[in-house]
Homo-oligomer: A and B are copies of this chain.
Amino acid sequence: MADTPTLRERARRAARAEIAATAMRLFAENGFDATTVDQIAGAVGISRRSFFHYFGSKEDLVLGDTEALGESVRAALEARPDDESAWAAIRAAFLTIRPADKTQEEQLTLARIHHEAPSVRARHLEKHLRWQELLAPDIQRRLGLPATTTPDPRALAFVAAALACFDAAVDAWYSSGGAEDPERLFDEAVATLRA
């Protein structure tokens, strides 16, 4: 399955991780907007130009790999039993996102940046737009809707609504300083929609 990463590939991953870590530190200290790409590159010891070889944009530092993560959610969704309901399946798929490689501290910092920087929020929402397309086909099937070339708006709306519940739950979790249980918040949000 997973082909052995080449040396270059591993170096690249390491570099990305180091840049991201340094950037997170600067963001935490000075805020997202007040930190320039030049400062990040300088702190890591690479040129500004090289920075853009590792990350397509400043926002990418904070968003994770949109494409890869979306793909893994899609895979998780498709791995659910065929007869599972759309809501149950998408709930289970979302649960696989929880980043195991980050402390709660780091996750809260990340959430704070999402709150303080509008440009990050915007990219985050664009990411979800991408995911919408990705997850819609499977959901469409689970909703009992006939398959179509371009996704049925009902399936798209469904995925968008689920992502909205997810975001609302994460937001509330952040606002509570990590005290509330995100899973419960998500379930409550969904229940409210369906009531």
- The residues of A with any CB-CB pair to B shorter than 8 Å are 118, 121-123, 125-126, 129, 143, 150, 153-158, 160-161, 163-165, 167-169, 171-172, 175, 185, 188-190, 192-195
Given the interface pairs A160-B168, A194-B194, the reply to whether A153 lies near B189 with Cβ below 8 Å is yes
Which chain B residue lies CB-closest to A156?
A: B168
| Copies of this protein in the complex | 2
B192 touches A143 (CB 8 A): yes
A125 / chain B contacts, CB cutoff of 8 Å: 122, 125-126, 129
Given the interface pairs A153-B168, A153-B185, A168-B153, the reply to whether A192 lies near B122 with Cβ below 8 Å is no
8 Å CB contact of A126 from B122, B157, B193: B122
Given the interface pairs A126-B118, A194-B194, the reply to whether A168 lies near B154 with Cβ below 8 Å is yes
A160 / chain B contacts, CB cutoff of 8 Å: 161, 164-165, 167-168
B118 touches A189 (CB 8 A): no
Instruction: Give the complex CA separation of A194 and B130 in angstroms.
Output: 24
A158 touches B193 (CB 8 A): yes
Instruction: Give the complex CA separation of A143 and B155 in angstroms.
Output: 25
8 Å CB contact of A161 from B121, B123, B154, B164: B164
A171 / chain B contacts, CB cutoff of 8 Å: 153, 156
A168 / chain B contacts, CB cutoff of 8 Å: 153-154, 156-157, 160
A153 touches B172 (CB 8 A): yes
